[in-house]
Structure 1
Amino acid sequence: MINKILKNTVFRDTILITIASLSSKFIGFVLLPVYTHALTPTQFGLGDLIFSISSLLVPLVSLSSFDAIFRYMLKDDNVIDKKSLVSSVTFISIVGSTLLFVIVSFINLNNINGLKIWLCISVVMGIFNSLLQAYTKGTRQNKYLASSGILGSIVTAISAVVTLKLFDLSLNGYFLTLCIGTFCSNFYLFFRTGITKELSYKYVNVTTLKKTLVYSMPLIPNAISWWITSDISRLFIYSLIGSFGNGMFAVASKIPSLLNMFFGIFNQAWQITAITKIDGDETGTEYLLSSIYRTMQFTFVMAGLLVILIPEIYQIIAPMTYFSSWKIVPPLLFGAIMSMVAGQMGTYFLTKEKTKIILITTIIGMILNMVLGYLLTLSLGLFGSAITSGISFLIVSVLRFILLIKMENRILKLNIPWIAVLLFVFSLFIVYSLDFSWILLIVYLFLVILYYIYIFKPLIFKKNNDKSL
């Protein structure tokens, strides 16, 4: 049975892509103590801002052309010559990267003028990493994708120790660390995947360039909307509070990213089953709502546990200069949960091929994020920035549920796991009103155990009855 599962292409590819995508995120969290002890909040905030801006510029500078590689390499329909495609996308990437260096050199970036070179290098590294990953996925060489992710993470860890601990290169060492890691990952994919055989200026032609851009350019607004939804708060914090606030926010965001990381693993496997079931009879919708209920049931309890442990976790991952930022972690965790719920709701419309609804609700969430982000950061500071995403994703989730009911044209009920929510609220009361103690943690864990006994009570009694028979 296990061999059969492992031989399943979808399962195998999901595991390999997951390893590739999560290894870098995991090493980023593991290295957090190194970063925070080597950099002041102001320096870490500037570094985080530069990489945030670079993630926006990657699809803009490359015109998102790397998405065309994945799309057309995966199909064996000969719609477009593969060598011409890879060479043309590489040509677009080189031209875009060159223009970036020229344009940025003439732009005054105020306090980050000295970091312009790192911004450009980060964007170029990101573009070619996206290109090489798209080619690797498109040619179904996902085992190399996983290997490159692990290699990049190991090199990043070694580089961090050398540049930040041994040579104390401060912010330049931080940028150098991340760029070396990405470069090694790119270098490995460049020579391991065989893409070199596809590359030549002779294969670049106008027809392929046009076809590539017709496909890829409409994807740019989607990439921008995702950036606004997830990263616009960093610009507001930088402009209204300063890079010190950005550094505090960046560290606080790492803990919710753990929750998102583990959910991402689950969600890739869940979507395959969910899409099959939702596309079937009416019970598919009930399956979706039941899955959302169980997701909230689990994540609210786990988030509550993380909330209680936050002060202790901070003593491990960050020095005292960052310690006060733990107070914005709980609202960021709530935002992570609401993001999961909104994403699962979106699966329904994806299955029904109603992607327009996903687009509209995403745009609404994006606008809310921008307006609320500015107003709440202005009035409440970092805490206002932290609660913005939770409010935005909550509204998006409610809108999608209303539209789901309208499409189904029948009464549907989304159950809320109120006990799990109350446990999360109880954890907030503990950390905001009381000092941390192991007794309170034990009390919380005891309540969680009682809750899960209550949840699995039917299953437990069923097994006991079966044994008695």
Structure 2
Amino acid sequence: MDNRYKYLIKNTGILTISSFSTKILTFLMVPLYTSVLTTEEYGTYDLAVSTVSLLIPILSVNIVDGVMRYSMDSRYDRADIFSIGLRRISVATFIFAAILAFNSIFQITSVFAGKELLILLYFISTLLYSLLTQFAKGCEAVKQMAIAGIISTICLVGTNILLLLVFKLGVTGFFIASCASQLIPAIYLAARLKIWNYTHLKINKQVQAEVLKYSAPLVLTAVGWWVNSASDKYVVSFLIGVSANGILSVAYKIPTILNTIQQLFLQAWQISAVKEYNADSKAFYQETFQILDALMSLLALGLILTTRILAHALYAKDFFVAWKYVPFLLISSVINTASGYLGAILSAKKDSKTMGESAVISAIANTVMNIVFVKLFGVQGATIATALSSFLIFAIRAHHTQDVLPKKSIFTSFFVWLMLCVTAWLYVYSKHYILILIPMVAVLMCYRKVYYTLLYSAKRIIKKK
């Protein structure tokens, strides 16, 4: 096997062992959340988290991605890179604290009243953990990242059980558990990487200018992704109500299965894409993309067809209706995986401009579609808008990476995603379930060669063992 595939599989395997099995525990916590918290409490927490997710890349100039990319470049001193990142997140924290204080005094919005300190702590823990994780990735410290992921999940599960069931702190305990699950693994990473060796007060202005030049356009990328994944929650909250947002937020929990797999692979792929960029990598990129999309599409198909069963097990009381919104969110996850794959290639090229432009165009379209579709179709309109905007961002990135992926691969993916949409629509709205077999067979036929190759390879590996 090609060493490039071995390296990618090894890193993916390490991250899978550390994260996927433990992420299952987090996934199984959903019944606890939906039984202890009201739809309004969950909706408020989700809005706070979504707001932090938006402000972090803006206030920090998305410095963490710059830290990752330049830490992998041997021409730069990693101490310079990390120190630049640390200073930038310190400034971001100060600005965010000022924003919270301003809101508390003038009561611009009362949604977060009384939770300002919890939200600030969540902002700090999220940004610090992100910085250390991205720096570890830039240093190719995959094992340390993996262990940090295990620690994070154990902390999240343990503190949630303690604070929600034992001390019954409600949404306050939920916030504290989320913060602890990031601060504790951040401390572990800082200790294992001996981060003090990469920290100094003097900032290399020339290197800082280069890193910021790369990371600044990625603010648009981050905001675009945020709009695609979170703006629907705001639109639903304002047009329908916070309780409806709580239901939509819970609907995102089943797609978390795909998102977890996506994150595990893309973290490993981001390293390989940069590492192999200067090599003869076109065939490597093409084959990897086909395998990834084939597997993600197959998983999405399986989850769409078992959504009701999973919802019965995971969604308590008033949350059960959320099952209707899951299928199109699953399709968005598949398309976002493909977009993230191309994003890593653009990152290898240091083409942050294209990444930013594609995200902004998609974000604008997503906002408009959310408002229109939610008014027309209710909560389901938000999931449809998310899927369409995910498709748009992929199409733009595919156009800018034509030298890597042939049109045939792109059109195959487009057709498969269309068949997944047909499957989702029939599953939710049609009583003639037999019709679902048509798009199902179409998906399997499109990637039959990939599935056959994977099965054949698996059999050979098993026989050798």
Question: Could you say whether these structures have the same fold, taking a TM-score greater than 0.5 normalized by the shorter chain as the test?
Answer: yes
Q: How does 1:8-27 map to 2 (within 5 A)?
A: 11-17=9-15, 26-27=24-25
Q: Quick one: which of 27, 33, 36 aligns to 2:34?
A: 36
Q: Deviations over 1:300-334 (max 9, x none)?
A: 55434323322221121121210111111122123
**Residue of structure 1 in register with 2:50 after alignment:** 52
Q: Deviations over 1:151-199 (max 9, x none)?
A: 1111111111111111211101111111111111112122222113444
Secondary structure class of the residue paired with 2:61: coil
**Residue of structure 2 in register with 1:139 after alignment:** 139
Instruction: Flag the 1:58–1:353 CA change in 2: closer, same or farther, 3 A.
Output: closer
1:93 corresponds to 2:92: no
Mapped partners of 1:458, 1:13: distance in 2: 22
Mapped partners of 2:444, 2:405: distance in 1: 33
Q: Quick one: which of 302, 312, 317 aligns to 1:315?
A: 312
Secondary structure class of the residue paired with 2:115: helix
Greater Cα offset, 21-30 or 265-274: 265-274
8 Å contact kept, 1:249–1:325? yes
Q: CA deviation at 1:339?
A: 2.9
Mapped partners of 2:15, 2:34: distance in 1: 29
Q: How does 1:21-420 map to 2 (within 5 A)?
A: 26-77=24-75, 79-80=76-77, 82=79, 85-107=81-103, 108=107, 109-199=109-199, 203-205=201-203, 207=205, 210-211=208-209, 213-265=212-264, 284=283, 288=286, 299-343=296-340, 357-398=354-395, 414-415=411-412
| Structure 1 unaligned blocks of 5 or more | 464-469
Instruction: Flag the 1:158–1:294 CA change in 2: closer, same or farther, 3 A.
Output: closer
Mapped partners of 1:381, 1:395: distance in 2: 22
Greater Cα offset, 342-351 or 120-129: 342-351
**Residue of structure 2 in register with 1:466 after alignment:** none
8 Å contact kept, 1:23–1:150? no
8 Å contact kept, 1:89–1:209? no
Secondary structure class of the residue paired with 2:256: helix
- Aligned residue type for 1:135: F
Q: CA deviation at 1:87?
A: 4.0
8 Å contact kept, 1:135–1:195? no
- Aligned residue type for 2:57: P
- Aligned residue type for 2:172: N
Q: CA deviation at 1:450?
A: 12
8 Å contact kept, 1:300–1:421? no
Greater Cα offset, 28-37 or 119-128: 28-37
8 Å contact kept, 1:20–1:150? yes
**Residue of structure 1 in register with 2:463 after alignment:** none
TM norm structure 1: 0.78
| Structure 2 unaligned blocks of 5 or more | 457-465
Larger Rg: 1
Secondary structure class of the residue paired with 1:113: coil
Mapped partners of 1:404, 1:444: distance in 2: 34
8 Å contact kept, 1:66–1:131? yes
Q: CA deviation at 1:427?
A: 6.1
Instruction: Flag the 1:373–1:24 CA change in 2: closer, same or farther, 3 A.
Output: farther
Mapped partners of 1:224, 1:210: distance in 2: 22
Mapped partners of 1:67, 1:410: distance in 2: 29
Q: CA deviation at 1:366?
A: 1.8
Identity fraction in percent: 24
8 Å contact kept, 1:86–1:198? yes
Q: CA deviation at 1:225?
A: 2.1
Instruction: Flag the 1:102–1:141 CA change in 2: closer, same or farther, 3 A.
Output: same
Instruction: Flag the 1:187–1:380 CA change in 2: closer, same or farther, 3 A.
Output: same
Instruction: Flag the 1:177–1:298 CA change in 2: closer, same or farther, 3 A.
Output: same
Q: CA deviation at 1:56?
A: 1.7
Pairwise CA RMSD of aligned residues?
4.5
TM norm structure 2: 0.78
Secondary structure class of the residue paired with 2:358: helix
8 Å contact kept, 2:329–2:383? yes
Aligned residue pairs, count: 447
1:432 corresponds to 2:429: yes
Q: CA deviation at 1:51?
A: 1.1
Secondary structure class of the residue paired with 2:307: helix
Q: CA deviation at 1:89?
A: 3.4
- Aligned residue type for 1:35: Y
Secondary structure class of the residue paired with 1:63: coil
Mapped partners of 1:431, 1:88: distance in 2: 49
